[in-house]
Amino acid sequence: MVVHLISPIARTVALIFISLPSLINTSLLDYDTLVFSKCDSSDTNILQKTTTTQYPNYSNHNLFLRAQALYSFLSKLESESSRAKFFKTLAGNDQHAVSGWFQCREDYPSEICHRCVTELRSISSRMCGNATSARVHLRGCHMVYEFEFVDTPTAQAYNHHNYKLMETPERGLIHKICDGATAETLAGFEEMRTEALTAAETGVVDGHGFYEESYKLLHVVAQCDGHVEACDCGECVSAAAAAAAEECPWSIAGQIYLEGCYVGYTYNPHEYPGDSYHEEGGQASTGKSLAIVVGGVAALVFVAIFFLFLKSLRRKGDDC
C-alpha cells in the first residue's frame, strides 16, 4: 500500500528536480534590471534628406520608414540572441537603415541571453522610440544602435561594409555607478582593487573578451564588446580600471562603462575564489538558493510520505 502511495510522489519529485536548473536560472539571475539608457534625438536632420517633391506627405512617410527599419533591426537582434551572445547587423530600407549590435554577458546561459534581448527590445522601443541613436544596458545584456541615411546604392554599400558603430571608438566614459559605502577604513583596499583590476586586464585577453574572478576580498567582472580586438580589449579594461580609481576612489563597489568595455567590482569580506555571478547577486547566491530549494523539497516530500503513511494505517485499522 505504501509503495503505491510513494510512487506518485516519486514521479512528482523527479519532475521538480529536473526543472530546478531552469527555475534557478530564470528566477535568480538578475538579467533584466535596467542599468541605464541613453537616447539621442538631436540629429533630426538625418531624417530630413528626402525631397518633399518625392514624398508629399513627407513627415509621416519618414516616420513610417524609420519605424520599419527599426522593427527589422530589433527583430534580427532578437532572433539571433537565441544562437549567439554577440551580434551586429545593419537593417533597413531604401531611405533609412539602422546599424548596431547586442551583447549578452558571456557567462549567462543562452536562454537567459534570448530573454534579456527580448526585454531590451521592449524597453528600447518604449524609452527610445523616437531616438536616432540609442544605448540601453540591462544587467545581463546591452544594445547599441544608430540610424543611418541611405539614399544611393553607393551609400548603402558603404554603410553595409563599414559599420560605423562597429569600429573601436575612443574610450570615453559612458556611465558609472559608485557604491555609496566607503572603504576608507579598510586597510589596503586601494592596493587590492588595483591588483584585482590589473588581473582583469590580462584576464579579458586570455578569456577572449570576458573575465570573472575573485581576488582576495574583491569580485571582478570585465567584458568587452564583441567587435573589440583582444589587445584593444585589454587596453580598454585598463582604462576602465583607471576610471574606477578616479571616479569611485573609495567605493566598495563600482561599475564603469566605457566605449568598448565594462568593468565591475564588488568588495565582499566573505568572498571565496571560484564564486561567480556575485556582482549581480548570482551564482554564489544561486548555489545557496539551490541548496535551500532542494532541502525544502526534500522536507516537504518527507512530510507528505509520513502523513500518507499515517493515513494508510488509519484505513487499515478501519478495515479491521
The C-alpha R_g of the chain, in whole angstroms, comes to 26
**Residue 81 has what DSSP assignment?**
T
**Last-in-domain residue among 144, 166, 188:** 166
- Does residue 114 share a domain with residue 78? yes
Please give the C-alpha separations between residue 210 and each of 20, 127, 220, in angstroms, as whole numbers. 27, 29, 11
Q: How many domains does the chain have?
A: 2
Which H or E run contains 61? helix 58-80
Structural domain contains residue 20: no
Q: Cα-flanking dihedrals φ and ψ of residue 67, to 5°?
A: -65, -40
Task: With respect to residue 215, please indicate whether it lies within any of the assigned structural domains.
Answer: yes
- Looking at residue 309, its pLDDT comes to 53
What is the structure's pLDDT at 151? 53
The more confidently predicted of residues 121 and 305 is: 121
* Mean pLDDT on 235-240: 96
What nine digits make up the cell of 203? 584576464
- As a whole number of angstroms, the distance between CA 48 and CA 287 comes to 54
Inter-residue contact 74 to 124 (CB < 8 Å) = yes
| CATH number of the domain that residue 125 is part of | 3.30.430.20
Question: Do the domain assignments include residue 289?
Answer: no
CA angle 291, 296, 301 (to 5 degrees): 130
Q: How far apart are CA 278 and CA 32, in angstroms?
A: 16
Do 274 and 161 have their domain in common?
A: no
**131 and 37 co-located in one domain:** yes
For residue 99, give the nearest of 123, 69, 129, 140 by alpha carbon. 69
Compute the distance between CA of residue 169 and CA of residue 28 in angstroms, rounded to an integer. 34
Residues 181, 203 within the same domain? yes
On whether the CB atoms of residues 197 and 251 are closer than 8 A, the answer is: no
Looking at the structure, tell me whether residues 185 and 162 fall in a common domain: no
Would you say residue 196 has pLDDT above 80?
yes
Q: Exposed e or buried b for every residue in 235-268, given b needs 16+ CB within 10 A?
A: bbbbbbbebbeeebebbbbbbbbbbbbbbbbbbb
Residue 286 lies in a domain: no
CA-to-CA distance for 283 and 254, rounded, in angstroms? 19
State pLDDT tens for residues 280-296.
Answer: 444 434 433 434 444 45
Tell me, what's the pLDDT at 62?
A: 76
57-70 mean pLDDT: 75
Q: Is residue 101 part of a domain?
A: yes
Summarize the confidence of residues 113-136 as an average pLDDT.
92
291 in a domain, yes or no? Answer: no
Look at residues 234, 288, 192, 226 and name the one whose alpha carbon lies nearest to residue 86. Answer: 226
Tens digits of residue pLDDT in 13-39: 444 444 444 444 444 568 999 999 999
Per-residue cell: 110: 543562452
Predicted pLDDT at 181: 79
- Domain C-terminal end among 141, 166, 191: 166
> Could you tell me if 186 and 258 lie in one domain?
yes
User: Does residue 256 sit within a domain?
Assistant: yes
Say yes or no: 151 and 198 in one domain.
no
Same domain, 129 and 241: no
Last residue of a domain, one of 166, 197, 216: 166
Which structural domain, as residue segments, surrounds residue 125?
31-166
142 shares a domain with 193: no
On the question of pLDDT at 167 being above 70, the answer is no
What average pLDDT does range 139-161 have in this prediction? Answer: 67
DSSP string, 223-254: EE-TTS-HHHHHHHHHHHHHHHHHHSTTBSEE
97 backbone φψ class: left, alpha, beta (φ>0; ψ -120 to 50): beta
Q: Check whether residue 52 and residue 153 sit in a common domain.
A: yes
Residues 158 and 72 in one domain: yes
Q: Is residue 201 part of a domain?
A: yes
CB 75 within 8 A of CB 120: no
pLDDT band at 220 (very low <50, low <70, confident <90, very high): very high
216 with 254, same domain? yes
561599475: which residue's cell? 255
